[in-house]
């Protein structure tokens, strides 16, 4: 009787051990699946960004002409793009901004001038990255650089990455100039490397209110 009890006890412990191992493996598989889904969505987002930029810049002169009639200093062009059917089907609309499938916000507009730059009106997109998880946001930031910013270097005037704390933008990077506007003394998108991108996207790696890739065309 004692031998049978010991065997039963040992079998129960072994079963619990097997279940624990299965649980760990299942949790790992779920985590890997979640990462794969995020990666797929992130790549789809960057593809949609490229299409959106191409659609937007077709009407660049029209946006600037419309801006010239404004006294506010800027013109949000999102409502016009929505009305003209220029948005990816997966995006949602809230006022002047759009949200992609990952919850990042896209805010397109035309502005008169910006900070240290002295230029005529330019089309601008703020890519405000969601702060669900810092590591995922930083990973998405890197994808945006590799899949959107660098391939559009000839179209871009300048970009920078900034974070928002207490309703104000700070801790921003230096400006990186597009291929047509680069000077020897300036940071240039065409010279940007993996270490630069890592440093820029570290701004997005912590849990903050927002992380913004300001992109001027």
pLDDT at 100: 92
Confidence of residue 94 (pLDDT cuts 50, 70, 90): confident
**Each residue of 99-132: pLDDT tens digit?**
999 888 899 988 776 555 555 557 788 888 865 5
Nearest to 138 by CA among 50, 39, 206, 41: 206
Q: How far is CA 137 from CA 56, 75, 81, 129, in A?
A: 25, 28, 26, 7
Asked if 207 and 193 count as a contact pair (C-beta separation under 8 A), the reply is: no
SS3 content of the chain, % helix, strand, coil (to 5): 45, 20, 30
Nearest to 108 by CA among 80, 131, 146: 80
Topology (CATH level 3) of domain 2-216: TcpA-like pilin (3.30.1690)
Stated pTM of the model: 0.78
Confidence of residue 22 (pLDDT cuts 50, 70, 90): low
58 pLDDT more than 60: yes
């Amino acid at each position: 009787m004692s031998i049978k009890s010991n065997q039963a006890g040992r079998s129960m412990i072994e079963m619990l051990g097997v279940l624990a191992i299965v649980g760990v493996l299942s949790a790992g598989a779920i985590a890997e699946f979640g990462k794969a889904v995020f990666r797929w969505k992130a790549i789809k987002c960057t593809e949609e960004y490229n299409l959106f930029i191409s659609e937007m810049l077709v009407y660049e002169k029209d946006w600037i002409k419309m801006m010239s009639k404004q006294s506010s200093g800027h013109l949000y062009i999102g409502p016009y793009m929505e009305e003209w059917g220029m948005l990816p089907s997966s995006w949602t609309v809230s006022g002047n901004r759009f949200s992609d499938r990952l919850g990042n916000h896209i805010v397109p507009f035309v502005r008169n001038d910006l900070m240290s730059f002295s230029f005529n009106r330019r089309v601008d997109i703020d890519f405000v990255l969601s702060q669900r998880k810092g590591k995922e946001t930083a990973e998405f930031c890197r994808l945006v650089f590799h899949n959107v910013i660098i391939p559009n270097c000839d179209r871009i005037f300048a970009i920078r990455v900034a974070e928002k704390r207490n309703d104000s933008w700070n801790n921003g990077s230096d400006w990186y100039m597009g291929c047509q506007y680069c000077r020897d003394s300036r940071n240039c998108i065409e010279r940007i490397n993996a270490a630069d991108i890592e440093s820029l996207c570290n701004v997005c790696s912590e849990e903050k209110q927002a992380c913004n890739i300001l992109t001027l065309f």
